[in-house]
Structure 1
Amino acid sequence: MGKTILDKGSREYIKSLIPDNIPDWKKVWEEGYEIGKNLKIKHIPFEDKYGMKPVDYRMKLKEEGKICWKINTGLATVKDQVEALKAAEKFNEETGLDISLAHQLPQNLVGVPKEIRKGLPLALGFMLDEPEDWEAIASASTVAPVFGDNHIGWPNAVETTINSVQAGSQWTGLFGTYVQVAPGCPDEVWNMTENVKALGIVAAKYDDKVIANDQSDDSYGAYFNDLATSLAWAKMNYYIVHDLCKARYSYSFGNFTQNIMHKTALWLAAAKCFNKDDQPGIGFVYPDTISHWDHHIHANYGFQIPEVLFTILAEQHFKAGCAWLSVPITEKVAIPTVPEMLDMTGACQRAQETTYYWAPMINWEPLEKLRDQTIELGDKMFHYMLQGLEEAGVDITNPIEIMTVLKAIDPFVLEKLFHPSIVDEGNETIVPLMPAALWNATQNELANQISILKDTKYPALLKGHRAVVASADVHFAGAAVIAGVMNEFGADVVDGGNQLEAIDVLDLADENNITDVIVSLHNGQALPYAKLIVKLAAERNKKYRFFFGGVLQSFLNEDDAEPSDVTEEIRKLGIHTCTTVENLFEQLTK
């Protein structure tokens, strides 16, 4: 027998996370498989234009060493989505360029069962209610939809998988988002059970090349210190999807990665691990969004074009099967308009015309070495994770149990328990192969804010001050900086982490007898979240001080095409709104 991975304390910690009353996962999977066998997949206009299905077209491009071009669309209504896809088709016709896929970003509540949605805060995006909504988008134009966010991975996975598959989408979901907190769905065993059933549906459509797509940046990949750890996380999800549930899998990532060499090494490593003879292992690669400015936004072209140029060159050389999901220059400040989406993909695609200048000058050996090191680290860490879970008593043949336990583990703890630099080398802290950009950016901003504020009045005023800090969605960086600065200045901070629902934030405050509550929001749910937390506070007959910051945008009216700044509306509810860390501290210490 090999070495033991976990010490006694770590084994007991993970063992305590194993839930009771897990259903027979094979029966659940078989139920989904039976549903999937009976689904009829609609013919979509993409097939008329290209003479094949989207996955086969992706394989054709891969064999030719060409990028597949994809846009991101998350407008206000299904009608707007249809018009966006028609505009993309017209753009192709006018330019001769080739947007072939469009990632769909619907409302977060699409991922929540209908009977639970009432009263839950809405984020941005369109609502998908009936099968006809999926079909309208899929049949809108020759640009094929990919129904990604809030599909498989979320508790409503069965309904969304059925509807996306029937409509003709060959990719469904962002599978790894099963670790996100779905509003109104606290029963994690049930949540994972529904996802395993949905994987049964995908497995039944194996011959139709229906794929469960993953996205590490909307999952635990956002929290890791080492970018290479994301490959180990992907291999765990591949194990669940492919090895246990017999479904197809693809991997996506990229928006939290600034270093072009690191990003390319990771997607080449993932392609080697997950490519099949008849499907690409890469769902899509996202450009860096950390580096976006929220001012002088046209300068944002300046870093995406070099990044995509290098990606095009790497695809030409390695033929790894990349799809590039371009992000408009306005990403950081607002929901991009359709023209802005088309402008960026046009700029990215035209970069292809210059590659013959650059290709002869590139030495690929350092990249190949880093790719292989990433594969070695990812493979080691995946096996350490699997062995460690088994040591703790987790049934590693049961996907429901594995997923429920993984969701309950703090991602920072997960990485530290199993990273090879700790397991093999005995280091106290992780020594990353490729330092993760988001974590570094968060730590740099934390240090920057401490430096700016340490000689002001706030360290003395905050010492001993008690507050709850939480993020209302998957974005953790802003809340982490606030909590870190307050801790540095001696405050008593209860850090709720990310993805906290309004009721959970109040519960956390009450459990710790705290009345100052700081919430970071970024997903467009600011006003509904504000109204809900004020309503819940009134029902408790308790007086809190709420401080909201981040991106305070929401739809004000049902027929709005774009969200509005709702800062004033939130203030009218009696909530303090904050634009900077110093602005927060100024209001907090009054």
Structure 2
Amino acid sequence: MQITMNKRFEFKDLPDMKEIRSQIDKIAAQTTIGETLFFKKHGVTSEGEFKLKAIKEGFISKHSHIGWNSWDETAKNVEYIYNELERRGSYITRMGFICDWIMGVPEEYRSKLQPGTGLILKNPDEWKAIGQIAPVQPHMSDHMIGCPNALENARLALEAGVTSIGNVSHYFTYEYPGIELERERTINSLLAFGLMGKFEGTIVHSNLDDGYGNQFHDLANLAGWTMIERYLVEELLGASMTFSYGNLFSDPISRIVFNMVCDATNTKGTPGTMTFGNTIDYGLDFARNYGALCNFSLADAICQRHKPTGHAVASVPVSEACRIPTPEEIIEGHLCVDVMIEKSKFLEPFIDWSKVEAERDILLACGRVFFERVMSGLEDLGVDTQHPGEVFAALKAIGAEQLERNFGVGKKEKTAIRGREPVKPTDIIKTLQTKHQKVFAGVGNVERELEGTKVVIGSTDIHDYGKEMLKSICNTAGAHVFDLGTYVTAEEIIENLLETESKVVMISTYNGIALSFAKELTSLLQENGMDDVVVMMGGLINENIDGSQLAVDVTSEVKSLGIICDNRMEEIVPIIKQVYAGEHEQ
């Protein structure tokens, strides 16, 4: 076993669990669960209580994620969406409030981060009002728990009546460049999970797609990963948790199978939060996106008909891939999903559930092997597997790739990407392989075209699929690629350029900071005498400008800085060749 641990702090110095639990008890004694309009309408004290009733009644919940950056705009649109759906004979049960990444760090550190496009709650009154807009239950997961500000976020959310809070998976993947609070993050996350465990009906939420779920290549290993997270949160910290997934699941049957995998290990009977929409099938063609919306929502509704777990069916607006959706687009998505839920009752009886259960059982058996291998491996590395903080920190220090390479359940194979053939490849791997083939069909034969060239690549956030595609093209063409990973900063790029003498930088961005990042990077390039370096930027090139409520396209502004942002993969190799031949005009 060859494992390199990238320790951010010495986790052996964490407080012992007796001290942690004592703090949890003190905080819980000072915390009260608020009452939302949704609770009043349905006569419940938590979303968990409502979901359990809904399961008995055969009611399928519906969900939307929203991400307007101001409180006034958020409140106005939530009320409008709720009332308009009611008027049109539809409904919405819950809404996920997408908070900005600066919410993930304590107040005194927020000036170090460039605000993105998410909601920023600026005072206690805005927190308390989040459940008083309309009778739709708020859910909060982005930059809540699993981040440096986890405890404060959890306490304020609970007091506002938010009883499903995430995201466990964010602990492993979400970063805050320039802010090093990993020890505090670990302690505050333990306190937040433990605090939620003190209140009946609360649900610790983990969106696997935001964590190692989008980095594992094998669904069997992901099944085992759910057992690891559940062990940490439920067995060691006493909370109740559920898993969300779906962004990266294109195959409708895989969605159903994986829901049943998670349900099989749910010994507490905790109801689910929601199943996310499959956004990897979304593109710029809205008509095709409607097909993807129908595909995943119908599968999710069939699953809830057959084995109700409480997971809400999510409506993802067809504009999601290119900009922040409008309230009207959110409403249109729900009306579409209504039809899928209605028709699911006719299809559910004709599914061969024995085949689905057989697939579930394979993933469960393999998942248990992965779980045991990982826990045994941690013990061999000297990790106290009874201390959740040590395990969280160690798993993050090891990373998804090493976990899968060393403990994965697939058959060992030298030619496989991670040295193992997946038992069941994740949909994202299959989708990327398909997109890879299409891109290379357009690019043509580029083998050895970029030999002798150096390229720096990175992503400004967790979304790295575009980055991986660029990396694959450049590697195939023979370039020396320096991959800086996700949450890369402009300073890191400059440092790498100085060290490697690369002449090309390629950036993928989806978190609404495209123009600010471009300005900072080009300014630093000029300061360091690197005017000859060519920068390419792709993804979602938008940002909130001058206090705008919605992120707007800033492609023209970014281009005016001399950055290429045409998003055309087939142009990558020719541009890099021109740069190194001295033929590219800035």
Q: Normalised by the size of structure 1, how large is the TM-score?
A: 0.91
Q: Give me the whole-angstrom Cα distance separating, in 2, the residues matched to 1:67 and 1:95.
A: 18
Q: Give me the whole-angstrom Cα distance separating, in 2, the residues matched to 1:547 and 1:517.
A: 6
**Cα distance per residue 1:456-483 (max 9 Å; x no partner):** xx65652111121111111111111111
Percent same amino acid among aligned pairs? Answer: 25
Q: Residues 37, 422 of structure 1: CA spacing in aligned structure 2 closer, same or farther, 3 A cutoff?
A: farther
**Cα distance per residue 1:211-237 (max 9 Å; x no partner):** 221001011101111223222222211
| Contact 1:64-1:319 within 8 A present in 2 as well | no
Partner residue, 1:109 = 102
Structure 1 position 109, deviation (Å):
1.1
Q: Residues 59, 444 of structure 1: CA spacing in aligned structure 2 closer, same or farther, 3 A cutoff?
A: same
Q: Residues 425, 122 of structure 1: CA spacing in aligned structure 2 closer, same or farther, 3 A cutoff?
A: same
Q: Residues 211, 504 of structure 1: CA spacing in aligned structure 2 closer, same or farther, 3 A cutoff?
A: farther
Structure 1 position 307, deviation (Å):
2.9
Partner residue, 1:496 = 484
Q: Give me the whole-angstrom Cα distance separating, in 1, the residues matched to 2:82 and 2:537.
A: 40
2:59 equivalent to 1:77: no
**Cα distance per residue 1:175-201 (max 9 Å; x no partner):** 111122223323422321221222232
The correspondence for 1:268, drawn from 260, 267, 280, is: 260
Partner residue, 1:299 = 288
Partner residue, 2:278 = 288
Partner residue, 1:233 = 225
The correspondence for 1:382, drawn from 371, 396, 400, is: 371
Give the partner amino acid of 1:246.
Answer: G
Farther-moved stretch of structure 1 (580-589 vs 192-201): 580-589
Structure 1 position 355, deviation (Å):
3.5
Partner residue, 2:35 = 43
The correspondence for 1:548, drawn from 537, 543, 547, is: 537
| Contact 1:150-1:174 within 8 A present in 2 as well | yes
SS at match of 2:130: helix
Partner residue, 1:129 = 122
Structure 1 position 167, deviation (Å):
0.4
SS at match of 1:571: helix
Give the partner amino acid of 1:22.
Answer: D
Any stretches of 5+ residues in structure 1 without a counterpart? 1-6
Q: Residues 567, 424 of structure 1: CA spacing in aligned structure 2 closer, same or farther, 3 A cutoff?
A: closer
Q: Give me the whole-angstrom Cα distance separating, in 2, the residues matched to 1:57 and 1:220.
A: 30
Q: Residues 244, 564 of structure 1: CA spacing in aligned structure 2 closer, same or farther, 3 A cutoff?
A: same
Q: Give me the whole-angstrom Cα distance separating, in 2, the residues matched to 1:120 and 1:394.
A: 33
Q: Normalised by the size of structure 2, how large is the TM-score?
A: 0.92
Partner residue, 1:431 = 421
Partner residue, 1:214 = 206
2:461 equivalent to 1:473: yes
Structure 1 position 348, deviation (Å):
0.9
Structure 1 position 17, deviation (Å):
7.8
Q: Give me the whole-angstrom Cα distance separating, in 1, the residues matched to 2:149 and 2:246.
A: 26
2:340 equivalent to 1:351: yes
2:318 equivalent to 1:329: yes
Aligned-pair Cα RMSD in Å: 2.5
Structure 1 position 423, deviation (Å):
7.7
SS at match of 2:570: helix
The correspondence for 1:483, drawn from 471, 495, 519, is: 471
Q: Give me the whole-angstrom Cα distance separating, in 2, the residues matched to 1:77 and 1:18.
A: 35
Q: Residues 64, 373 of structure 1: CA spacing in aligned structure 2 closer, same or farther, 3 A cutoff?
A: farther
2:190 equivalent to 1:196: yes
Q: Give me the whole-angstrom Cα distance separating, in 2, the residues matched to 1:118 and 1:198.
A: 24
| Contact 1:262-1:434 within 8 A present in 2 as well | no
Q: Give me the whole-angstrom Cα distance separating, in 2, the residues matched to 1:65 and 1:105.
A: 29
The correspondence for 1:452, drawn from 442, 447, 469, is: 442
Q: Give me the whole-angstrom Cα distance separating, in 2, the residues matched to 1:425 and 1:439.
A: 18
2:93 equivalent to 1:93: no
| Contact 1:469-1:518 within 8 A present in 2 as well | yes
Structure 1 position 536, deviation (Å):
4.2
Q: Give me the whole-angstrom Cα distance separating, in 1, the residues matched to 2:489 and 2:414.
A: 39
Q: Give me the whole-angstrom Cα distance separating, in 1, the residues matched to 2:566 and 2:442.
A: 17
Partner residue, 2:581 = none
Farther-moved stretch of structure 1 (196-205 vs 363-372): 196-205
Farther-moved stretch of structure 1 (495-504 vs 28-37): 28-37
**Cα distance per residue 1:7-38 (max 9 Å; x no partner):** 2x33xx24978836632142245324422321
Structure 1 position 331, deviation (Å):
0.9
Q: Give me the whole-angstrom Cα distance separating, in 1, the residues matched to 2:216 and 2:360.
A: 18
Give the partner amino acid of 1:377.
Answer: C
Partner residue, 1:3 = none
Farther-moved stretch of structure 1 (147-156 vs 307-316): 307-316
| Contact 2:67-2:99 within 8 A present in 1 as well | yes
Farther-moved stretch of structure 1 (380-389 vs 90-99): 90-99
Structure 1 position 352, deviation (Å):
2.9
| Contact 2:23-2:191 within 8 A present in 1 as well | yes
Give the partner amino acid of 2:571.
Answer: N
SS at match of 2:382: coil
Q: Residues 536, 246 of structure 1: CA spacing in aligned structure 2 closer, same or farther, 3 A cutoff?
A: farther
